Amino acid sequence: MVVIAMAEVLRPEPMTLEQWADMDEDEPGELVDGTLVEEEVPTNLHELIVSWLLYALMTWAKERGGRVFGSEHKLGVSTRRGRKPDVTVYAPRTKIDLQASLSRVAPLMVVEVISPRARDVRRDRVEKLADYARFGVRWYWLLDPAVRLLEVLELGADGRYTIALQASTERVSIPGCDGLVLDLADLWREVDEAAAEYNAPSIERGEG
């Protein structure tokens, strides 16, 4: 028997998209079919990678008039579903209500950094993929630290995503983002340096 890992329900009672949008910012969860479910619990590695991506994307978008949001930005992807991507990028001249707690406008791009738990992998590769496609997100990035792989998916006229780019450690030009070049080797070098610092003996503890 195959066991399908699903996100844990945080609140069994029904919730509207507006109620989800008005939740306190420190209260976690995404909305799936009117039910509040757990969201990914990020590790320090996850957040290090997200911060690297945010810096690269914000630098690129600022020169072109685009807007970039972090992991607390809420998307109303349908009437009963709400998602919080790790990174959201809007095209230039997209009208975004900065006072609103929810966006119903499809962004140009969303990014998800995959965590190793089976339920998180399924959420990013199956559930969110379908949600973002229906919402009309043109580009969907998946970055998997476990295998050091970036996948850039493009939404086709048939409403399905196809792979536009797969890259691992090289310096690559990103499709759909004119002028954006990512040095993935630099990303993984930063990850390795952080890991080495953590594993190094501590002088203050008298080790080494």
List pLDDT tens digits, range 137-169: 999 999 999 999 999 999 999 999 999 999 999
Q: What is the largest CA-CA distance in the chain?
A: 62
- Output DSSP code: residue 105: S
* Tally: H helices and E strands in the chain: 5, 13
In one-letter notation, the amino acid at residue 124 is D
List pLDDT tens digits, range 77-132: 999 999 999 999 999 999 999 999 999 999 999 999 998 888 889 999 999 999 99
The rounded distance, in Å, linking the Cα atoms of 127 and 173 is 28
The rounded distance, in Å, linking the Cα atoms of 174 and 176 is 6
List pLDDT tens digits, range 22-37: 998 778 899 999 999 9
Contact 135, 75 (CB under 8 A): yes
List pLDDT tens digits, range 165-180: 999 999 999 999 999 9
Contact 111, 83 (CB under 8 A): no
